[in-house]
Chains A and B, each alone.
Chain A
Amino acid sequence: MKTAKDYTLYELLAVNISKMFRDDDVGFTGLVTGDQTAVMASMVPLAAMSLAQHTHAPNMTVLLAGMLHNPDLSKLTTVPNSEFEPTSVDVDSEAMMLGFPAPWCVNRGDITVGFSSGAQIDAYGNMNSVCIGDHDHPKVRLVGAIFQTEHLALFGREIITMKLEKRKFVEKVDFVSAVGYPGGREGRAKLGLSGAGPEYVVTDKCIFNFHEVTGRMQLYSIHPGYTPEDIRNETGFAIENLYDAKETPAPTEEELYLLRNIIDPKGLLLPRSI
């Protein structure tokens, strides 16, 4: 397989995320549209899951916005611009959610992998989308925990997608709206959460995972073109294996062909210009 030379950041991320799935996965992503954060939070995961279905994981189930089961993305003429937009009822899919919760059973472990993003993430994978500063007298009040708590507590595992920025990657979050590995892997086990917790944190410059004992975030791979210093400068906590990480593999010609011609022929998911 030939490695491609020209590819976008989004294609690099989609291809590498696609390799994180198993054939029996049920993958849950929200739906937000707009800027780079939105593309990374929902369009990249969607393209990645679809690519996995077209390669090594044909039996995987995609839950778009948690509600549309296995949407036929190639039939889309526009992407609904939010989860509950009236037009989203018309997306071609195998099953849809009419109420909440249904049809999936989250406490029974139906959802094996999820995607989330937040205002802050800390060195032990705790996430925050509630507030900056003290909860009762916040400097900035944000939207709230939403489903993030359940993503990290109940889903089989979680892949977090966030732009790498010092103010977002902090030693300790201001409010734990979703739990990572407080007190390490052992500390998490004592909490009795049924899900395994965060597995990867995919950013625009690198991919992190979590230490197998301490649960602390560590480098998994650095994207082509970036140095360990680039990563250190944008991360608000110390990275213990800064110089040991491999390079994130570039997409192959075949993977790019599938993304551009079969999965997203109209360029609705992954903007081609970045």
Chain B
Amino acid sequence: MELKEKLISMKEAASLVSDGDRLAVGGCAIHAHPMAFLRELVRQKKKDLTVVGSLNGLDVDLLAGAGMLKKVETSYVGLERYGLAKNFRRGVEQGEFQMVDYSDYLAFNRFHASLEKLSFWPCSYLGGSDILAKNPDIKEFNCPLTGKKYYAVPPADPDVAIIHAAAADVYGNVLMPQKRLVPQGVDVLMARSCDKVIVTVERIVSNDLIRRHNDLCFIPKYRVTAVVHAPYGAHPCSMPQFYNVDEGHFQEYVDASSDKENFSKYLDAYVTGVEDQEEYLEKVGVKKLLSLDLPTFI
């Protein structure tokens, strides 16, 4: 028997997602989302997807703009300093998909529930809120030990988790930076919350390098279904240790998302009208990409 390599193409990886799946998408707002993977999902015309998350942004907005969503369950969909996520906003306002609102901490804890394979997460503090009143899936119960009132919150239970990480070896051992921010913390949690985990990475590294940095391997190979080599895989989002937000491209996206017609032109130009991530990067341009470089790596 040989060691099993999990490195596959972006097209193969995206085909692991089925119509109707519940997707956990890594990253936060305008940072570290697996955008190259999501663009491939758009090319493959997936439909009726549910995104379950905590702090979403460009990920949900792209899928909303491409008409691929059935439901979103999260605590935030926005583009930070770029304002409201306009495709998402329009989609909710026009009833194109359902929105289930959770609070931030609860949205994270729903993944903890899935990590522990619990059928609910106990929360003590939803009384009086419309997070509770508008969500029939949250049920009140009394603690069997103390009688204290709690709310049973459904677990996140994604079918597939997809994250963009710094590096992995071909066997699926994933390295996270030592100085992690919330987006990387979320990514690790999501990768532990379901059993189909797809990781796109900036760098493929040797198993020797993984062994030298074993303290940074937060997602070991047995948790990973597939690895995809995707340099600039979060573009136009930032990727800690690699590159900053592409301000120019982001603004172009935001401007295009102001109405459906303009956004379909954007999709034609950068998503459906290109074959793959390499063609996308050619379109963005080498000069632009190199100008985004951050000074440190791991």
Assembly CA distance A143 to B28 (angstroms) = 13
Residues of A within 8 A of B124 (CB): 107, 192, 194
Per-residue CB contact flags for chain A residues 34-68 toward chain B (1 = under 8 Å, else 0) read: 10000000000000000000000000000000010
Assess whether B101 is in contact with A144, with CB atoms less than 8 Å apart: yes
CB distance from A142 to the nearest CB of B (A): 7
Residues of A within 8 A of B103 (CB): 145-150, 177
CB distance from B275 to the nearest CB of A (A): 30
Assembly CA distance A98 to B181 (angstroms) = 5
Assess whether A135 is in contact with B130, with CB atoms less than 8 Å apart: yes
Per-residue CB contact flags for chain A residues 176-189 toward chain B (1 = under 8 Å, else 0) read: 11110010000110
Assess whether B77 is in contact with A144, with CB atoms less than 8 Å apart: yes
Number of B residues near A (Cβ < 8 Å) is: 58
Number of A residues near B (Cβ < 8 Å) is: 54
Assess whether A82 is in contact with B29, with CB atoms less than 8 Å apart: yes
Interface residues of A in 213-248 (CB under 8 A from B): none
Interface residues of A in 68-93 (CB under 8 A from B): 81-89
- In the complex, the chain A residue whose C-beta lies closest to that of B98 is A136
Assess whether B30 is in contact with A82, with CB atoms less than 8 Å apart: yes
**Which secondary structure dominates where chain B touches chain A?**
mixed
Assess whether A81 is in contact with B74, with CB atoms less than 8 Å apart: no
B294 at the interface (CB under 8 A from A): yes
- In the complex, the chain A residue whose C-beta lies closest to that of B102 is A145
CB distance from B160 to the nearest CB of A (A): 21
B189 at the interface (CB under 8 A from A): yes
Q: In the complex, given contacts A149-B125, A175-B134, what are 19 additional A-B residue pairs having Cβ atoms less than 8 angstroms apart?
A: A84-B31, A86-B31, A86-B244, A87-B294, A89-B181, A89-B240, A131-B92, A135-B99, A141-B99, A144-B78, A145-B76, A146-B76, A146-B104, A148-B103, A149-B129, A150-B103, A175-B101, A182-B128, A191-B128
10 contacts between A and B (CB under 8 A): A83-B80, A89-B181, A98-B180, A137-B95, A138-B92, A138-B93, A141-B84, A144-B76, A176-B131, A177-B129
Residues on A lying within 8 angstroms of B by beta carbon are 32-34, 67, 81-89, 96-101, 106-107, 126, 130-131, 135-150, 153-154, 175-179, 182, 187-188, 191-194
